[in-house]
Amino acid sequence: MKKPIFKLLALTTALMAMYSCSNDDSANTLETAKEFKTINVTTHDGRPFDTGKKTNLSNGRYVANPGGGVMMQAFYWDVPAGGTWWNVVNSKITAWSNAGIGSIWLPPVSKAQNGPFSMGYDPTDYFDFGNFNQNGTVETRFGSKTELESLITKVHGENMQVYADIVLNHNSGGQLESNPFTGTQTYTNFTGVASGKFKRTSADFHKNALRNNDEGIFGGFPDLAHVAPNVQDWLWKRSDGVGKFYKNTMKFDGWRFDYVKGFGAWVVKDWNANVGGFSVGELWDANVNLLNDWANNANSSVFDFACYYKMNDAFDGNNLNVLNDDMMWKRNPYKAVTFVANHDTDEIWKKELAYAYILTHEGYPTIFYRDYEEWLNKTKMNNLIWIHNNKATGNTSILYTDTDEYIARRNGYNGNPGLVVYINNSNTWQERWIQTNWTNAQIKDFTGNSGWYPTTQADKWVKIQCPPNGYSIWSINM
């Protein structure tokens, strides 16, 4: 859901400067998708996924799973209107796959109240994908149903997954009706939706005969009552309902649930039990206890807002010690989806350091479209994706922190040696002796930021270095 975020012009200027200053990578020998080797896909803690087949990373394609790949948020707020966005994303799928991205997250795909101008978070008709003349348009802001289907087919053809953004808390665009539960006129009559599916009346919204309210209402929109049998049937129980139609007919592989603070975790749990597929909830809160409790109660992944705010404090607040604090990926890595920015919030300035962090640590990392396609150095981003997919295995040990430096070790798994990541938030080169898991082994920085090729000692200790305001990522030279 979109929240009002006020950005400084200086942020854009700084990002543009970062991009222009970092474009010259001719001196660096980065590991990229072109150098992929054939390995088994692993989870974020290094254990292999049971995918039923071997996966060849030589062409950058692999099966996406929580923690086993990288997700792309394939939109930003106010993407160009005019029905072109599905085609724009379609044109990028092969390149994203070649880079090692395993899944994409799309904005809400159904017709919403603001028609051709809506980002989809004010849903009217869950079954209008740009194929009905409704709310002033046939196509959605993003395109037609045919173009959406073509995009999904392209994603699957590249052995990737596609996740739908699902707004279950509220609806918009209904007609006025006399509401017996409020004694007023309310915009809760959705019996005239063009698809003719999931017709709703005031009985399906709060308050109603069943209850007055649930956990939260958003923006004054009619608040769906998930306890209502009609709502449950059409959202996740019916074979032709929203969830199963999206999964079985439209071929979505998973779900990003919007504003889950607005309804009970049992809703997502029931959806997952009846529909299946990957799921992640937007529970906008830095409290890791709340995130973990919701994820367990919903049987779902959750965006790691605790990690997001700690990274902001660490990299922009100049105190890398806070990376010792609790985060969702530390508490429950299988259910943590990490991110640096999204369509709602974009507060971290030192994004390259933040991406180096989430793409070397446990969790399911998400890349924001504009960071990848517009604002940051794509070669460096592809290098980090390669490192994530090929080296970031095993659990995590934090080796050293101070206000400016952070060093952590991924301990490897099943023959994969893991890595050591060194992040430096100071203005000068730094060096540290650290203990690895490797005996008498030559290592190198797979980012190309350091030209050192040190050999670990018999006791596994070695000296590594890191550039100013940058990062280095070390593993066995093989």
Whether 34 and 386 have beta carbons less than 8 Å apart is answered as no
Residue 150 lies in a domain: yes
Helices (H), 214-339: 229-232, 242-244, 265-274, 288-298, 305-311, 328-331
**Same domain flag for 400 and 383:** no
Residues 279 and 415 in one domain: no
Q: How many domains does the chain have?
A: 2
Residue 410 has a pLDDT of 96
* Burial group, residue 109, by CB count within 10 angstroms (0-12, 13-18, 19+): buried
Contacts of 373 (CB under 8 A, 6+ apart): 92
Question: Smallest Cα–Cα separation from 125: which of 220, 175, 187, 194?
Answer: 194
Tell me how crowded residue 289 is: count the other CB atoms within 10 A of its CB. Answer: 12
Task: Return d(Cα 203, Cα 466) in angstroms, integer.
Answer: 61
Query: Is the pLDDT score of 250 beyond 90?
Result: yes
What are the angstrom distances between the C-alpha of 4 and each of 7, 148, 212, 343, 359? 10, 28, 28, 11, 28
Distance CA 295, CA 265 (A): 8
Q: What is the DSSP letter of 20?
A: H
472 lies in some domain: yes
Indicate if 384 and 399 belong to the same structural domain. Answer: no
| Greatest C-alpha distance within the chain | 80
pLDDT beyond 90 at 77: yes
- pLDDT of amino acid 42: 34
DSSP 76: -
| Cα dihedral 410→472→102→257 (10° resolution) | 80
pLDDT greater than 50 at residue 2 = no
Which residue, 354, 377, 392, sits at the end of a domain? Answer: 392
Stretch 198-203: mean pLDDT, rounded?
98
pLDDT in tens, 343-385: 999 999 999 999 999 999 999 999 999 999 999 999 999 999 9
Kindly tell me if the per-residue pLDDT of 60 is higher than 80: no
Tell me the residue range of the domain where 53 lies: 9-392
Contact 376, 14 (CB under 8 A): no
In a domain, 16, yes or no: yes
Indicate if 454 and 365 belong to the same structural domain.
no
The answer to whether residue 248 sits within a structural domain is yes
Summarize the confidence of residues 267-290 as an average pLDDT.
98
Domain boundary residue, one of 392, 424, 453: 392
| Pair (301, 425) in one structural domain | no
| E strand residue ranges, 172-326 | 175-179, 184-189, 254-257, 278-281, 301-303
Question: Whose structure tokens read 């001719």?
Answer: 26
For 210-237, what is the mean pLDDT? Answer: 95
How distant, in Å, are the alpha carbons of 9, 27, 257, 441, 476 from that of 471?
26, 16, 33, 21, 17
Report residue 422 as tokens: 């060194």
Are the CB atoms for 154 and 90 separated by under 8 Å?
A: yes
Residue 25 has pLDDT above 60, yes or no: no
- Are 151 and 85 within one domain? yes
Same-domain status, 307 and 414: no
Residues 83 and 173 in one domain: yes
Burial class of residue 25, CB neighbours in 10 A (0-12, 13-18, 19+): middle
- CATH code of 155's domain: 3.20.20.80
- The answer on 422 and 353 residing in a single domain is no
- pLDDT for 478 equals 84
Q: Are residues 143 and 240 in the same domain?
A: yes
pLDDT, position 102: 94
Contact between residue 126 and residue 136 where contact means Cβ atoms under 8 Å apart: no
In a domain, 2, yes or no: no
Of the listed ranges 13-27, 28-42, 255-269, 373-387, the least confidently predicted one is 13-27
Q: Are 404 and 381 found together in one domain?
A: no
Q: What is the mean pLDDT of the chain?
A: 88
Q: What is the pTM of this model?
A: 0.89
Of all residues in the chain, the percent with pLDDT exceeding 90 is 83
Whether pLDDT at 43 is above 50: no
What CA–CA distance (Å, rounded) separates 442 from 28?
Answer: 19
Report how far residue 294's alpha carbon sits from residue 228's, in angstroms, rounded to the nearest whole number.
22
User: How many Cβ atoms are within 10 Å of 31's Cβ, its own excluded?
Assistant: 22
Residue 337 and residue 280 in contact, taking contact as beta carbons nearer than 8 Å? yes
* Residue 46 in this model has a pLDDT that exceeds 70: no
Does the residue 1 lie in any domain? no
Length of the chain: 478
Only one residue has tokens 């994004």, namely 351
- Gyration radius (Cα) of the chain, Å: 23
Q: Residue 1: its pLDDT value, please?
A: 55
Average pLDDT (145-173) is 97
Give the pLDDT confidence score for residue 52 in this predicted structure: 27
**Final residue belonging to a domain, choices 392, 420, 448:** 392
Residue 68: pLDDT band by 50, 70, 90 thresholds?
low
Task: Specify the pLDDT at position 219.
Answer: 84
Helices (H) and strands (E) in the chain, counts: 13, 19
Q: Is 339 helix (H, G, I), strand (E, B) or coil?
A: strand
Angle of helix 378-391 relative to helix 351-358, nearest 10 degrees, comes to 20
List residues bridging with 205 in a β-sheet.
Answer: 224
Cα(240)–Cα(197) distance, integer angstroms: 9
In the predicted model, is pLDDT for residue 81 greater than 90? yes
213 close to 205: Cβ distance less than 8 angstroms:
no
Instruction: Write out the H or E segment, with its range, that includes residue 385.
Output: helix 378-391
Look at 35-44, 190-199, 462-471 and tell me which has the smallest mean pLDDT.
35-44
Q: Are residues 176 and 146 in the same domain?
A: yes
d(CA 455, CA 441): 5
| Domain at 409, CATH number | 2.60.40.1180
The two tokens of residue 180 are 């017996």
Tokens of 160: 């990737």
3, part of any domain: no
Residue 383, domain member (yes or no): yes
